[in-house]
Amino acid sequence: MTLLDGKQIAATIRAELREEIDALRQAGHRVPCLAVVIVGENPASVTYVRNKMRACEEVGIRVERIALPDTVSEEELLAEVHRLNADPAIDGFIVQLPLPAHINESTILSAIDYRKDVDGLTPENVGRTVQGQPSIVSATPRGIRELLARYNIPTAGKHVVVIGRSNIVGKPVAMLLMQRPYLSLPGMSAASLGDATVTICHSKTQDLAAICRTADIIIVAAGSPGLLTADMVRPGATIIDVGINRVPTTNDQRLTTNDQRPATKLVGDVDFENVAPKAAYITPVPGGVGPMTIVSLLQNTLQAYNEHS
Ligand code: NAD
């Protein structure tokens, strides 16, 4: 079994990005700039935004944080989106999700100029991805494809089972791996990317286990800890665990009664302990898909800068 070390691959990619951005600066060009809009103070969103900003700063991408109160109206947020669309100093921006219940996410996402949509969530970018045209691909699917590429795991002709049909992971990753390849990535020929036979499963799928057992690659993005168990996995399969779940630690995982560690831990959707020995490749949680998602945002920002500045 080989661990797909997203943390290390992401660090390698950040070093590559830093080099590219240093070269821009040295040539007298302005550096790329990302704006991050955060509404309210949802603790998970605050942490995600902080991590994204830190990663930007590490590679030399300028980053602007725009914090709006959770009382902001949909019209006010739309006005901010329009302002960022028109600002030539901003190459790309994201609106951190989720948004408060009184704001329609799809109205906001649809208003973002697709050329600046570095989360790849606008109908324009999603449509382009579906049609196999060059597009900004949403961060987690892009990160998964890059991770497979960097470990030279071919997808052509393979059966990929995706568990989850969300707009941010399940659907776009299925599209990406199914389509005829048009991009080449470092370390892998274009012919080896895409071209998979993809099955998308979801909460209403019948006999998920039987479908998974026919998979060469399983991508789990359900948000359900322990969903993928060893009996669902063919020996030698590749397992990509997208899930991020915070679960309580059991008492025996705390060393003493004075143990100061938090009483929760992060786990994915895979029963890692029992699945890992059967898998050829598997991502850990944390340290697998998560860091690849953040680095994909940086790559998307540089892509937007290169294509439209
Ligand atoms: P979501 O929460 O919007 O939807 C979950 C999907 O899983 C649904 O389509 C549902 O039908 C399916 N599902 C749920 N339970 C199932 C079951 N028992 N069997 C089969 N299908 C089932 O999905 P999301 O926003 O894509 O998030 C999924 C998970 O991935 C969450 O844990 C989220 O935190 C995580 N996530 C991680 C990253 C990352 O960078 N690692 C990025 C995005 C999301």
pTM for this structure? 0.94
| Of 245, 287, 296, residue with least CA distance to 268 | 245
Q: Percentage of the chain with pLDDT > 70? A: 93
pLDDT recorded at residue 133: 83
pLDDT recorded at residue 181: 78
CA torsion sign for 124, 130, 136, 138 is positive
Nearest CA to ligand 1 atom 14: 222
pLDDT at 294 over 80: yes
d(CA 89, CA 161): 41
Please say if 265 is a catalytic residue.
Answer: no
Please give the domain boundaries of the chain with CATH numbers for all domains. 28-113 (3.40.50.10860), 137-289 (3.40.50.720)
Contact 263, 252 (CB under 8 A): no
Nearest CA to ligand 1 atom 5: 222
Could you say which DSSP state residue 91 is in?
Answer: S
Q: Find the Cα–Cα–Cα–Cα dihedral 273, 276, 278, 281, rounded to 10°.
A: 170
Please say if 26 is a catalytic residue.
Answer: no
Q: What is the number of residues in the chain? A: 309
Confidence tier at 67 by pLDDT (50, 70, 90): very high
Q: Which atom of ligand 1 is nearest to the CA of 168?
A: 26
Q: How many whole angstroms from 243 Cα to the centroid of ligand 1? A: 6
Please say if 113 is a catalytic residue.
Answer: no
